[in-house]
Amino acid sequence: MKIVAQRVEYAKVEVNNEIVGKIDNGLMLLVSFTQTDTEKEIDWMVNKILGLRIFDDENGVMNKNVLDTNGSILSISQFTLYGDALKGNRPSYIKALNGEEAIKLYNLFNEKLKEHIKVETGIFGAEMRVSLLNDGPVTIILEK
């Protein structure tokens, strides 16, 4: 499981020129799965994301997590995170989990997040346009 987490002032995702997910203040997550991922990796990642102290406290020190700031999450599925471009110029996506299995894990991941925080999503497998204002900028890559 691989996630790119960005601290944002706002983020939105559009499909066919229609906004399908939108947040203010929080985390925008690009989420990808590989063949060995299970619920165990999802549980670890949910805890890591919710506890990630990348928001400023009153002294300007990154000491708060998304829950401390009453933030939200915009979760976007993105299989291309497992693209391997070491050989040649066309990435190989052989490490990315197939869509049929990945959607199950993606839905489970979002449901587990929703137990703790407001979560908006894109549409799995759709052609999406993502807009955001990265705050900081703060971008963290997580892999389990």
Residues labelled as active-site residues: 78-80
Beta carbons within 8 Å of 5's beta carbon, 6+ residues apart = 27, 28, 29, 49, 52, 54, 139, 140, 141, 142
Three-state DSSP class for 26?
Answer: strand
Element (H, E) at 102: helix 99-114
Three-state DSSP class for 126?
Answer: coil
Other Cβ atoms within 10 Å of 65 Cβ, number? 17
Cβ atoms of residues 69 and 25 within 8 Å? yes
